[in-house]
């Protein structure tokens, strides 16, 4: 199974990231979506989508026509993949200096946890659960360009590949 992990679009989904979604079996968005249009575009590219609420996914920052989509976003989501559970959360409720340890303690049932918030691409797969940050998939604070992670999950093994496009 091919899973595209993204986060922090802030209402601006990069077209190259959208193109990756077309080749995925599932897209997991770890929050700060920014607008229902982003979710609509992702669903059009890949009908299987999970998305969670980020700290900027609040009524005052979303277009009025997207309120129903905003209200439907959970704080955390988990999905059973071949070989284990993937948890998605935004990560803003965890202290930056201890975020990975706190995420692992909060979601011990996961094989991998995808989070956002920092906009910094990170693959921490030295212990389980893996803690993965795909960076920012939009235009805001991309630190080198829009990015995402490609997770390949089978019953026997998981692998992660980072993808970053030039700004």
**Per the confidence metrics, is the pTM higher than 0.75?**
yes
Taking the C-alpha atoms of residue 50 and residue 68, their distance in angstroms, rounded to an integer, is 15
CB hemisphere CA count around 104 (13 angstroms): 13
pLDDT, residue 34, reads 97
pLDDT, residue 167, reads 87
Sheet holding 49-51, edge to edge: 49-51, 26-29, 2-6, 147-153, 158-164
The rounded mean pLDDT for the chain is 97
pLDDT, residue 142, reads 84
In this prediction, residue 139 has a pLDDT band, given cuts at 50, 70 and 90, of confident
Beta-strand relationship, 84-89 and 76-81: antiparallel
In this prediction, residue 133 has a pLDDT band, given cuts at 50, 70 and 90, of very high
Domain layout of the chain by residue ranges:
2-164
pLDDT, residue 144, reads 85
Alpha helices in the chain (DSSP H): 15-22, 36-45, 67-72, 99-106
In this prediction, residue 126 has a pLDDT band, given cuts at 50, 70 and 90, of very high
Sheet holding 76-81, edge to edge: 76-81, 84-89, 112-114, 130-134, 121-124
Is pLDDT at 102 greater than 90 in this prediction?
Answer: yes
In this prediction, residue 75 has a pLDDT band, given cuts at 50, 70 and 90, of very high
Identify the CATH homologous superfamily for domain 2-164. Metallo-dependent phosphatases (3.60.21.10)
């Amino acid at each position: 199974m091919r899973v595209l992990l993204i986060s922090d679009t802030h209402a601006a989904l990069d077209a190259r990231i959208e193109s990756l979604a077309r080749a995925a079996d599932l897209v997991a968005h770890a929050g700060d979506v920014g607008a229902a249009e982003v979710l609509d575009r992702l669903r059009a590219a890949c009908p299987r989508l999970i998305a969670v609420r980020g700290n900027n996914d609040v009524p005052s920052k979303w277009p009025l026509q997207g309120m129903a989509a905003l209200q439907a976003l959970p704080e955390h989501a988990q999905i059973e993949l071949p070989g284990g559970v993937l948890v998605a959360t935004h990560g803003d409720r965890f202290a930056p200096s201890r975020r990975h340890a706190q995420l692992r303690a909060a979601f011990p049932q996961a094989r991998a946890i995808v989070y956002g918030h920092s906009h910094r691409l990170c693959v921490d797969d030295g212990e389980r659960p893996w803690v993965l940050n795909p960076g920012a998939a939009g235009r805001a604070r991309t630190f080198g360009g829009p990015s995402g992670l490609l997770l390949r999950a089978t019953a026997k093994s998981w692998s992660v590949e980072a993808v970053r496009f030039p700004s």
